Amino acid sequence: MPRLNMTAPDATPKPEDSDALFRLLRYIDGTPAVTQRGAAKALGMSLGRLNTLLHTAVEARLITIQDHDGTDKRRRNSYAITVRGAAEKNRLIDDFLTRKFLEYDALHAELTGTTSGLVPLNNRTKLMQNNLAPIPELYVSYDSAQKLKVEAADLTSHDLTPRQICDLELLMNGGFNPLKGFMPEEDYDGVVENMRLADGSLWPMPITLDVSEEFAAKVEIGQDIALRDQEGVILATMTVTDRWEPNKAREAEKVFGADDDEHPAVNYLHNTAGQVYLGGPITGIQQPVHYDFRARRDTPNELRAYFRKLGWRKVVAFQTRNPLHRAHQELTFRAAREAQANLLIHPVVGLTKPGDVDHFTRVRCYEAVLDKYPQSTTTMSLLNLAMRMAGPREAVWHGLIRANHGCTHFIVGRDHAGPGKNSAGEDFYGPYEAQDLFRAHQDEIGVEMVDFKHMVYVQERAQYEPADEIKDKDDVTILNISGTELRRRLSEGLEIPEWFSFPQVVTELRKTKPPRSKQGFTVFFTGFSGSGKSTIANALMVKLMEMGGRPVTLLDGDIVRKNLSSELGFSKEHRDLNIRRIGYVASEITKNGGIAICAPIAPYATTRRAVREDVEAFGAFVEVHVATSIEECERRDRKGLYKLAREGKIKEFTGISDPYDVPQSPEIRVETENVEVDNCAHQVLLKLESMGLIAAE
Ligand code: PPS
């Protein structure tokens, strides 16, 4: 007689046998005084097949034969389910649903390119390890998305900033699980105060939708808004449940450790982010479009599926925003060995620290060194995260994001996600503060930390070692090249030794970062009206043109106001717009290898800083403060404007009735009183030479 093996857990019965058994158990469970004939009829099977099934089930003690003293023949062979049988029935339900779920998920992936985002109940996922089971996404089905796109045409639209697009992508694809949208006020408060969402779960970073006051005023609570990318493509809708004006100084202090604009995220908070936050759940319509490195980008569920497919139970993630050099390779090898895990190189390609190597160059560098890793245990995937450079809190956040991406371990090195120095010239965070905070929350994060100390090169042994593990420090030669030193060598075209990096990486870096004397740059004059900016700028332009090599463009205050900004006046808002336009043009010129000379008054420090950041993404920014005093400018009064300003005929005149923030640390300050124009221009030229921006051919 064929047997169903229902007790040995390893021998899985065929699905059709399991299904027949399940139907039998369910029938017996729900029907009093079951008879063979009645069961065969109800279950649509022959008496022979039923007999076999009954026999097996009795033998496995899933059902019992009812005891009858019996004169009634029809009731003699009746059956009842046992406790064991009821448990087996539930197990069969679980198995059935898991099977169906996997089939559905695979079908979904085949049809849409992404997994379904549905999560089977916990007890139904025992087939999969926790970090490998699918996690929830916020996307609706393809059909619903098409409908929503049409309906959303009537909704108020918010055009997302580049940072919000990064945040939204990770919200929608589960990278920020358990968040279901941009944070409502209660979650925001908890996160700012003690790194906890309102329900108590750990989350260290505010993920908020900042908007302007004008936009916020147009939105009612309960209203749906459309979230669009910068080309107007709808990515999601959000039901606005919360609207509030955040206390940004508190956010800066609590989240970033100091209300200091030298911190990139604090600077962003005060000078870029809108004044009002909106919160509410997101309905995902489509992922942001990326035209670059598509094959290298994976959602959390795609990575989980990949690890599942390869049978990678342990995965250690390496977060980076820098090109990989030999020290990083050694560190990742050691981490994988220590954790006995596979390695995921997981570089951030969203937004990193201003001034970092652009991600196109970095990805080419990563690709160049991937073959130095064993292919069977290492993979690389790009993460579209907008970093905040928040050190310890950022490390915890990175850990949670990596847990969502199916990783079990995470490398935290020295000064993880450090923002550099504060306005007093000190580090914002201690070098191992990130490791300490991570360690304290490791269990909740759900990934184990692999911590690393600073790696240095030991020449005698020709290998990298953690600095604090070198016992014979005094007898060996320890070599190290800091990030700053590397940038200096690249910008001056100096040698980068093989022990430090891979030749392919250096070649890629040199392609993007030729020596400074071949790069574009911007000279930005600032000073009062009549201080001599334009005259010196003109002289400098002629001197640079005489030298040749790069095209020179002069963006003088008056010229710009005639051409680029003819509709603008002198309110703070208009002056900012004027300077941002100059900055935009200068950054484009710099990017394309030219020299931009700007000479506006540019009275506000924050705007000058914003322009500096725009330009420094592509080349050097040389701020020249033409430090002629207001008294001297008024005495000269070349255009007769000061007289008019004193008479009140020109309003908001810089230095008279409008402020001027004196630059605190310009690259050079020139005095013009009793100094020839030619000499002033020459001082600037010497500065450019000392910065390596001009050099002999
Ligand atoms: S700003 O503040 O940077 O946008 O100004 P800028 O574009 O450099 O324009 C300054 C020139 O405009 C003339 N002008 C004024 N300057 C300052 N304040 C007020 N209210 C004002 N009204 C007109 C003035 O000629 C400035 O030229 P320069 O070359 O600086 O003397």
557-580 confidence digits (pLDDT tens): 888 999 999 999 999 999 999 999
**Banded model confidence at residue 512, pLDDT cuts 50, 70, 90:** confident
- Compute the Cα dihedral for 376, 383, 368, 416 and give only its sign: negative
The Å distance, Cα 27 to ligand 1 centre, comes to 90
Q: What's the confidence (pLDDT) of residue 7?
A: 35
Does the pLDDT at position 125 exceed 80?
A: no
Give which of 516, 445, 520, 530 is closest to 690, Cα–Cα.
516
- Identify whether the C-beta of residue 227 lies closer than 8 Å to the C-beta of residue 290: no
Does the pLDDT at position 439 exceed 80?
A: yes
Index of the ligand 1 atom closest to the CA of residue 650: 20
Between these two residues, 435 and 453, which has the higher pLDDT value? 435
pLDDT tens across 153-166, in order? 999 999 999 999 99
**Banded model confidence at residue 83, pLDDT cuts 50, 70, 90:** confident
Q: Average pLDDT of 595-622?
A: 96
By percentage, how much of the chain surpasses pLDDT 90?
Answer: 72
pLDDT tens across 463-505, in order? 999 888 999 999 999 999 988 899 889 878 899 999 999 999 9
Q: Average pLDDT of 100-104?
A: 80
Give which of 252, 164, 144, 145 is closest to 215, Cα–Cα.
164
Does the pLDDT at position 2 exceed 60?
A: no
Between these two residues, 266 and 515, which has the higher pLDDT value? 266
Does the pLDDT at position 1 exceed 50?
A: no
Does the pLDDT at position 10 exceed 50?
A: no
Does the pLDDT at position 70 exceed 60?
A: no
The Å distance, Cα 615 to ligand 1 centre, comes to 22
Q: What's the confidence (pLDDT) of residue 77?
A: 64
Indicate if ligand 1 lies below 6 Å from the C-beta of 631: no
Give which of 352, 481, 365, 361 is closest to 418, Cα–Cα.
352
DSSP-assigned beta bridge partners for residue 316: 343, 409
* Catalytic member of 52, 322, 361, 538: 322
The Å distance, Cα 52 to ligand 1 centre, comes to 98
- Identify whether the C-beta of residue 520 lies closer than 8 Å to the C-beta of residue 620: no
Write down the residue that tokens 């450019």 correspond to. Answer: 688
Q: How far is CA 666 from CA 305, 582, 608, 612, 618, in A?
A: 52, 18, 10, 11, 19
**Banded model confidence at residue 122, pLDDT cuts 50, 70, 90:** very low
Indicate if ligand 1 lies below 6 Å from the C-beta of 260: no
Q: How far apart are CA 238 and CA 176, in angstroms?
A: 16
Index of the ligand 1 atom closest to the CA of residue 651: 20
- Which of the listed residues 524, 570, 632 should we mutate to test ligand 1's pocket, taking the one with most ligand atoms within 8 A of CB? 570
The Å distance, Cα 462 to ligand 1 centre, comes to 61
- Identify whether the C-beta of residue 398 lies closer than 8 Å to the C-beta of residue 417: yes
Indicate if ligand 1 lies below 6 Å from the C-beta of 630: no
Q: Report phi then psi at 169, rounded to 5.
A: -60, -45
Lowest mean pLDDT among 135-144, 201-210, 274-283: 135-144
In terms of DSSP H, where are the helices of 195-276?
213-218, 248-256, 264-271
- Identify whether the C-beta of residue 397 lies closer than 8 Å to the C-beta of residue 204: yes
pLDDT tens across 637-672, in order? 989 999 999 999 999 999 999 999 999 999 999 999
Q: How far apart are CA 474 and CA 491, in angstroms?
A: 33
Q: Which residue's CA is the nearest one to ligand 1's atom 22?
A: 653
Give the chain's end-to-end CA distance (angstroms, integer). Answer: 94
Token pair of 689 as six digits: 């030479």
Q: What's the confidence (pLDDT) of residue 497?
A: 95
Q: Average pLDDT of 195-217?
A: 97
Q: What's the confidence (pLDDT) of residue 12?
A: 46
Indicate if ligand 1 lies below 6 Å from the C-beta of 579: yes
Is 388 catalytic? The answer is: no
- Identify whether the C-beta of residue 560 lies closer than 8 Å to the C-beta of residue 577: no
Token pair of 284 as six digits: 């995902």
Q: Which residue's CA is the nearest one to ligand 1's atom 27?
A: 529
Indicate if ligand 1 lies below 6 Å from the C-beta of 600: yes
Q: How far apart are CA 11 and CA 54, in angstroms?
A: 20
Between these two residues, 458 and 111, which has the higher pLDDT value? 458
- Identify whether the C-beta of residue 224 lies closer than 8 Å to the C-beta of residue 230: no
Between these two residues, 200 and 49, which has the higher pLDDT value? 200
Q: What's the confidence (pLDDT) of residue 259?
A: 98
- Compute the Cα dihedral for 605, 606, 612, 615 and give only its sign: negative
For every residue of 88-146, DSSP letters joined together read: HHHHHHHHHHHHHHHHHHHHHHHHHSS-------GGG-TTS-TTTS-----BPPHHHHH
The Å distance, Cα 608 to ligand 1 centre, comes to 15
Does the pLDDT at position 365 exceed 50?
A: yes
Indicate if ligand 1 lies below 6 Å from the C-beta of 208: no
Q: How far is CA 84 from CA 43, 50, 90, 401, in A?
A: 22, 20, 10, 42
Contacts of 37 (CB under 8 A, 6+ apart): 47, 74
Index of the ligand 1 atom closest to the CA of residue 561: 7
Q: How far apart are CA 285 and CA 146, in angstroms?
A: 8
**Banded model confidence at residue 6, pLDDT cuts 50, 70, 90:** very low
